[in-house]
Structures are given as structure tokens and as C-alpha cells.
Amino acid sequence: MAVLVGRQAPDFTAAAVLGNGEIVEGFTLSDHIKGKKAVLFFYPLDFTFVCPSELIAFDKRLAEFEKRGVEVIGVSIDSQFSHHAWRSTPVEKGGIGEVKYPLVADVKHEIVKAYDIEHPEAGVAFRASFLIDEEGQVRHQVVNDLPLGRNVDEMLRMVDALNFHQEHGEVCPAGWTAGDEGMKADAKGVADYLTKNSGKL
């Protein structure tokens, strides 16, 4: 499995269901992002088990991502019509409701292969998430096996960490959260930080 951190996120064009429910045939990642940060996340299949909890969790935190200038995009190997049907199914009946971010249809498995996160036996996507910066570079990725639901709040933390680093030029130590002190990336910075904060680690 490839590590894409530090590399350009593979671009793609595919059919998708937009956050307003419209089906489009030519959704292009780079056009949609247009110089903004993005969280691109993959999930195995529509109408399954762990997946709806993750998609709903992303939707419930969408305003937090948007406040940070981040686009959220979901991808699975299902068709745009399956995505649309799942969005049209109420949560209490196993659907995801009208989530407000795009769901991309990777029916040819081209995107999961480009990101190298296709399950070798099941042929579906692992639960993979990629944080992409304004230049289209992957800055963070995490890949979970199929039974293991991801933590959407952790992705928000990583967005905050990237924003902090970009704004202040400092690095973010273990467990860093918004509002915490950063660390200067030199020997003195490490010593100063650890002197004050090693007890919290």
C-alpha cells in the first residue's frame, strides 16, 4: 500500500451526487477543491453497517470543516444512483439522509487503485482518509480495515494542526489540539517545549 503523504493527490473525474442531491457525470477533484484544503475519504459500500455511522459523523461536523476552509468528499465503488438512493433513505431506515457533501461513484475502481486503498480480496475501498492542502499535496492519511470505524474528530484535529503549522511555522507535538502551544523545530525549541510540557505527554 502506497504512502501518499508528501505527494500530489491523484486527480480524478467521475460521476457523483452533490451535496444538494444533484447527480453530475463529470465531478473533478481539482475543480471542486480549487485551491482549498480537502478531506477525501473512502468507504466500502452504500447500505452497509459501519459506513452510515461514518458518513453521518462527517455530515454532523461539516460546518466545522467548512469553518476551517475544508471541502469534504466521500468516495465508494457504488454508482451515483446507489449514492442517491442511500441519501434518500431516512437514517431510521438505515440510510444516511441528505448529507451535504459530494459522494463520488468509483464504479470502475480507478480512484481506489490510484490511491492504493483497495481491499485485496473484497475489492472495496478500505476506510481511508486523506487530508489535502491548498497545493493539492497529501499532508495526512489514515487507513482502517473494514470493521474499524474512523474518528472524524481526529481529522478535525489534523486540520487544526496543519492550519497552525501554516500560520505560525511551528510544529505540533504529540496530542496537540487547537489552543495548545506549538514547538519551534530546533534543538532549543524541543528543550523549551519538553521542559514545560513533558508531564502532559
Mean pLDDT, residues 84-88 taken together: 97
Residue 2, pLDDT above cutoff 90: no
Say what the pLDDT of residue 69 is.
96
Mean pLDDT of the chain, nearest integer: 96
Mean pLDDT, residues 180-201 taken together: 93
The catalytic residues are: 51
pTM for the full predicted model: 0.95
Residue 189, pLDDT above cutoff 80: yes
Mean pLDDT, residues 95-123 taken together: 97
Contacts of 43 (CB under 8 A, 6+ apart): 51, 54, 55, 74, 75, 76, 125, 127
Residue 70, pLDDT above cutoff 80: yes
Element (H, E) at 138: strand 138-144
Q: How confident is the model at residue 200 (pLDDT cuts 50, 70, 90)?
A: confident
Backbone φ, ψ for residue 143 (5° rounding):
-130, 120
Say what the pLDDT of residue 152 is.
98
